[in-house]
A = this chain, B = another copy of it.
């Protein structure tokens, strides 16, 4: 399976080819399901002028937040960017562009990008600031806006297990944006908790077929919890 063996040994190999000014689609919701080691590698590489497409931008010292600290990010396309003081500072100082996108529209833009659909209509955002400059069209008596899809030079995602061909399964709500992000990168790099032999993942349980995946690296994850909330005894 030489041609299908996508496992790489180092983070350098995993992110090789990423250069200044590229667009990176990142999986994860808050700090849940983020490719921690790949983000750290981008910090190490000092790549700059990056556009990130990601639902959130981490916190000050974890997740994509660490790339903000290093001023590597030029633009964020996100649905929610709170919980991050450096973000706020850069944004207010005009150092960071932000394109706020409704969460469902963002997920669909990634999916559409991966699926060869350049644009779709949605009612989400009609009549709001999100609709500014976008085409409006009526279907069955309701108004919809045209949203264009998103692709990137790279996608960085996290999965639970990968077989060596890049077939993936996710773990619980760490799935979130990862399957769509996986489809939307020209080069898709996945960081996983476990690499298994081909055949261990059954055809019907695979959530992202290997065709979308270019490189696999085994990571080790801190899995920081943003809001630990416990049952009252």
Question: Which A residues form the contact surface with B (CB < 8 A)?
Answer: 108, 112, 115-123, 137, 139-140, 142, 144, 148, 169-172, 175, 203-205
Assembled-state Cα–Cα distance A204/B171 (Å): 8
Q: Can you name 25 A-B pairs with beta carbons within 8 Å?
A: A108-B115, A108-B117, A112-B120, A116-B122, A116-B123, A117-B120, A117-B121, A117-B122, A118-B139, A118-B140, A118-B142, A118-B144, A119-B120, A119-B137, A119-B144, A120-B120, A120-B121, A139-B148, A169-B204, A170-B204, A171-B204, A172-B203, A172-B204, A175-B204, A205-B205
Residues of chain B within 8 A of A148, CB atoms compared: 139
> Which B residue sits closest to A135, measured CB to CB?
B137
> Which B residue sits closest to A144, measured CB to CB?
B118
> Which B residue sits closest to A205, measured CB to CB?
B205
A151 CB to nearest chain B CB (Å)? 10
> Which residue, of A120, A137, A169, A172, has the highest number of chain B Cβ atoms within 10 A?
A120
Assembled-state Cα–Cα distance A155/B156 (Å): 37
With A119-B144, A172-B203 given, can you name 14 additional A-B contacts, CB distance below 8 Å? Answer: A112-B120, A116-B123, A117-B120, A117-B122, A118-B139, A118-B144, A119-B120, A119-B139, A120-B120, A139-B148, A170-B204, A171-B204, A172-B204, A175-B204
